[in-house]
Amino acid sequence: MSTTTRLASLAALTLALMAGPAVAADTIKIGVNEPLTGAFAASGTYVVNGAKIAADEINAKGGVLGKKIELVIEDNKSNPTEAAAVAEKLITSDKTPVLMGAWGSSLTLAVMPKLEEYEVPMLVETSSSGKITTSGNPFVFRISPPSALEAASFAPMVKKIGLKKVDFLVINNDWGRGAAGDFAKMLKAEGVEVGLTETMDQAAQDMSAQLSKLKSSDADTIMMTTSVDQLTLLFKQMAALGIKKRVITTGGSQNPDQIIAQAGAAAEGTMHLTTFLPWAPEKTPDPAATKYFLAEWKARGHQFAGATESFRGYDGIRSIAAAIEKAGSAEPAAITKAFWDVKMTGLNGPIAFAKSGPEGKESGQSKPTVYLIKIADGAVSEVAL
Amino acid sequence: MTRLLPLALLVVLALLPLGLKDPYLLNALITTGIFTIGAMSLNLLLGYTGQLSLGHIAFFGIGAYVSALTSLGFDVGLPFGLRVTHEGWPPAAGFLLAVLIAGLCGYVVGRLSFRVRGAYFVIVTISFAEVVRLVALNWIELTQGPLALTSIPFMTLGLPGLGEMTFRTKIQNYYLVLGVATLSYLLIARLVGSRFGRAMRGLKENEPLALSVGVDATRTLTIAATVSAAMAGAAGSLYAHYIRIIDPDVFLFSYTVTMVIMVVAGGKGTLVGPVIGGLIFGLLPVALRPVMAPEAQWIVYGATLIVILFVMPRGIAPALAALGLPKRAPAAPKPEPARASS
Amino acid sequence: MDQLLQHLVNALVLGGTYALLGIGLTLIFGIMNVVNFTHGALYTVGAYAMYIAAVGLGMNFFVALPVAVVAGLALGALIEFTLLRPLRGADIDTTMLVMIGAGIVLQSGALWIFGGVAKAVPSPFPDAPLQILGASVSWLRIFVFLAALTLIVSAYALINGTRLGRAMRATFQDHDTAALMGVNVSLIYTATFALGSSLAAAAGALLGPVYVVFPQMGDLAAVKAFAIVILGGLGSITGATIGGFALALAEEFGAGYVSSGYRDAMGFLIIIAVLLVKPTGLFARAERIG
């Protein structure tokens, strides 16, 4: 019964909206498509909380084009089918002219056909799969680095650290597999030997088997790509197995503070490739913005450890606002065009989109700064090279 | 009642897009429809033979992958230095192959697993689905693993006299799904009403008795499993060409749970049950989305499930039928024995 | 050689916890004929109860453990009383679906209350591992292993050495006759479900400090528990124990020597193979089919 009523009321609403743009919107809507329940709930929630800070900051300064921005936040349930449905809802029911999303790569890839269908642009804040910017979707603009880019940024550091032989232990999804592939290619080009590549299921909690295998390998370094929770477990289990090899993690979702808090001494000496330095705001490209963001993050009662994840939501919304400002109107086509002209300083470096993918249908890819940090004496420090 | 309800439902569903222009709701109806086809196919096993398959998504996923790979093409190395290279074929061929190969898998799994019953069968099917998911995840050369198959073409259909039709818009896909669903419904209705259907029900209600009157249990169950898997494969193919990207997440256990909920809450062993259950549990999340917090939506979803089963332990459709027909027709299913096979 | 020994030690430690996960489920499965889809959620509840007690309320680690187990016991009894008792006589699919619904509610409730960010429970043991012949293992894992064995042996003794256990076994074999002989079958069902639930919660409370605590932690645990139960045969504590160790060995050596991508497939492949050869599981008593 209630379903029927809902259908009817929504249909009526749609008709009203289709009657014309007479319903003058006094806000500019931005659709946010993130996992708030299911396997990636923690990360998606962080990103949304970062996005809210950006929206409130922009609105406090008078909004964009004289209007306030309004985030329409929807949960994609960590499920690709739902991610596509959410995009459909945001674009067609809520009439958002631009989206941000959708955290994971399979969630983002599921949304992409919808962007082409409705010609609405989306800012991709977290996904790392190469396919997102190489499959010829001109409505995609990404601020997170794909693993090939991260590997390229790491290349100059390889010799200085003195890597000789590297094994990989990665989460068995596009992110981990992509990182293992791209870093291995880069390392070989740098003359570093590449040994084993071990994988673990996204939900796995006991990785002793994989670690035992790596323990007996002759590599001096293990490169790891996975979520902060699995990294914490890996460090604890490495300590239990008595593995003392150099560890370098990639992917930029490490939350070193959570690792220090939860893995304790087991995290000592580990190195992490990251794109944001919240523990050293003065070293970030825009110290004032970083300090504002961190203060606001703390004031809202969020855990400091989440900042390495949530800053992408913050930067994502700020990039979108910049594009809308440049576009001069909140129309999807104008915003898509304006994204190419965005030039701003994000919390992790310059945000500007370079063309990527097949000619004529290029996606936009920004190139963030990559830092190498080390955990020593229970604190985080940047590795000076 | 039992004859009119499905027909009325079909008419309503066929006319719905004329009044409903909201693409979001159409999209929800299309994905709901696809999973309802999956639920109907599951009902053939669960409802009519009493065998609970908790690995049904495996056939759905196999259908999706077969159809996507057939239309995209692939190039894969096999043991002994063999190499298979395949250029993309039209999606309609993918659909047919999806039905055939999913059906074949259903046959093999059925042959092997019907040596066990009850809870053991449940676990064999879960195991099968997990193994298939892990193969899809790790056989990267064929499936691209977690990197996903993208840019899957729209479904196209060459119709004699009408030329080639591409299912690009939502309305087109809506009627495509509705058409396949109607065909599946008719096929199941036909099958259930036949001698074969009586054999299935006989096995469910009293296996020793059915065996004693000459029903070949393994053969009957295997045929049911084959048809059921083929139908799930068809739904998977529709899914692949509608969503246009698939990755091993298509084998998520939660999709199987969704289909089981649709069947059991709707009324297993009835023809309209999975359709009613499918519409309710497919559209419930859509209705809940604007009303409450994401976590609360899940809590209400779970609680709704519990309440429906408390009020109507045999599902919605049988409860509705009992309302409409105070005097139970003799064909109505008998109450289950308290201890089902274990 | 070192690697082989390390894998063996890992498998032994992991197997103990797998066995603990399995026996709770096998009891409920075997005695009540309920496919308990809240098992994973109760495991999660046990871990969160441990977190609340040890971190939130600042209790001693060894005091917090029994508190978490009692929480699981109480919640199990509540679920049986409110959800399963009214559905006695309904078929196995209906009760299974109600359990799925309850599992969704519990898991989403955990997400709602605690959020998705993982919590850690500090270990009271030294960080430096114990070294034996080149293999090493953490003190916490040794404690968890011993605690799991103690719980398994206690459960076994309860089932085989007490009046309650005898009544449970009688109910398992033939609940009608048991009822005729004066066994309070309703009480036995509540006791069984509460016992099974407390074992799941105990597994969660023991493993929470080893791993981390988050709302979806029960999903994988439940899948493993199902695998273990089927390997061992329904209703058999001995079977579930051996099943737990067998699964751990298969995973450990599968990941170590075959391919880590197929680590989680090993258990399922064994299950399929076992059922094809011996359809009633490795250790089950002969059961009627149909």
Residues of chain B contacting C38 with CB distance shorter than 8 Å = none
Residue B294 to residue A37, Cβ atoms within 8 A: yes
- According to DSSP, residue B110 is labeled H
Q: How far apart are CA C125 and CA A33, in angstroms?
A: 43
Residues 6+ apart with CB under 8 A from B164: B156, B157, B158
Stronger pLDDT, A9 or A182, i.e. the higher one: A182
Q: How far apart are CA A30 and CA A95, in angstroms?
A: 9
Residues of chain C contacting B208 with CB distance shorter than 8 Å = 290
Both tokens assigned to C151? 């719980």
Chain C residues 1-30 with CB within 8 Å of chain A: 2-3, 6-7, 10, 13-14
Chain C residues 71-100 with CB within 8 Å of chain B: 83, 86-94, 96-98, 100
User: Least CB-CB distance to A212: which of C10, C108, C219?
Assistant: C10
Q: How far apart are CA C28 and CA C189, in angstroms?
A: 8
Subunits with 3+ C-beta pairs closer than 8 A to C: A, B
B302: in domain = no
For residue range A190-202, what is the model confidence (pLDDT) as tens digits? 999 999 999 998 8
Query: In this model, does residue A21 exceed pLDDT 50?
Result: no
State the pLDDT at residue B342: 37
Q: How far apart are CA A378 and CA C147, in angstroms?
A: 32
**DSSP per-residue codes, C83-131:** IIGGGTTS-HHHHHHHHHHHHHHHHHHHHHHH-SS-B----SS-SSPEE
Residue C100 to residue B138, Cβ atoms within 8 A: no
Single pTM value for the model: 0.85
Both tokens assigned to C174? 């033939």
What fold characterizes domain C2-277?
ABC transporter involved in vitamin B12 uptake, BtuC (1.10.3470)
Alpha helices in C115-257 (DSSP H): 139-161, 163-173, 175-180, 185-210, 217-232, 237-253
- Total structural domains within chain B: 1
Residues of chain C contacting B264 with CB distance shorter than 8 Å = 93-94, 97
Multiple choice CATH, A13-145+289-365, 1.10.3720.10, 3.40.50.1100, 2.40.30.20, 3.40.50.2300? 3.40.50.2300
Residues of chain B contacting A36 with CB distance shorter than 8 Å = 294-295
Q: Of the candidates A54, A30, A45, A119, which has an alpha carbon nearest to the alpha carbon of residue A76? A: A45
- In this structure, the number of other CB atoms found within 10 A of the CB of residue B193 comes to 11
C102 touches chain B (CB under 8 A): yes
For residue range C94-136, what is the model confidence (pLDDT) as tens digits? 888 899 899 999 999 999 999 888 888 888 888 788 888 778 8
Lowest mean pLDDT among A140-149, C99-108, C147-156, C259-268: C259-268
B298: in domain = no
User: Which secondary-structure segment (H or E) carries B141?
Assistant: helix B140-143
> Sign of dihedral through CA atoms C29, C148, A38, B65?
negative
Contact between residue B277 and residue B261 where contact means Cβ atoms under 8 Å apart:
yes
Q: How far apart are CA C69 and CA C66, in angstroms?
A: 5
State the pLDDT at residue C110: 92
For residue range C40-89, what is the model confidence (pLDDT) as tens digits? 999 999 999 999 999 999 899 999 999 999 999 999 999 999 999 988 87
CB pairs under 8 A between B and C: 148
Per domain, the residue ranges of chain C are 2-277
Residue B146 to residue A174, Cβ atoms within 8 A: yes
Give me the percent of chain C exceeding a pLDDT of 90: 34
Residues of chain C contacting A168 with CB distance shorter than 8 Å = none
Contact between residue B270 and residue B317 where contact means Cβ atoms under 8 Å apart:
yes
Both tokens assigned to C185? 């079958």
Residues 6+ apart with CB under 8 A from B8: none
State the pLDDT at residue C10: 87
Chain B residues 39-78 with CB within 8 Å of chain C: 46, 52
State the pLDDT at residue B231: 96
B322: in domain = no
For residue range B198-244, what is the model confidence (pLDDT) as tens digits? 888 888 888 888 888 888 888 888 899 999 999 999 999 999 999 98
**Domain spanning A148-274: which superfamily?**
Response regulator (3.40.50.2300)
Subunits with 3+ C-beta pairs closer than 8 A to A: B, C
B162: in domain = yes
Distance from CA of A343 to the nearest CA of B (A): 31
C218 touches chain B (CB under 8 A): no
State the pLDDT at residue A17: 42
| Residue ranges of chain B whose pLDDT lies below 50 | 327-342
Q: How far apart are CA C88 and CA B258, in angstroms?
A: 24
Residues of chain A contacting C6 with CB distance shorter than 8 Å = 212, 215-216, 241
pLDDT average, residue stretch C203-224: 89
State the pLDDT at residue A70: 95
Domain that holds residue B245: 25-252
For residue range A288-314, what is the model confidence (pLDDT) as tens digits? 999 999 999 999 999 888 888 899 999
Per domain, the residue ranges of chain A are 13-145+289-365, 148-274
Q: What residues of chain B have any CB closer than 8 angstroms to a CB in chain A?
A: 19-25, 27-28, 31, 137-138, 140, 145-148, 150-151, 243-245, 247, 249-250, 252, 254, 279-280, 283-287, 289, 294-295, 297-298
Please determine whether the domains at A13-145+289-365 and A148-274 fall in the same fold group of CATH: yes
Residue C230 to residue B123, Cβ atoms within 8 A: yes
User: Least CB-CB distance to A199: which of C111, C127, C261?
Assistant: C261
C263 touches chain A (CB under 8 A): yes
State the pLDDT at residue B203: 82
Residue C262 to residue B207, Cβ atoms within 8 A: no
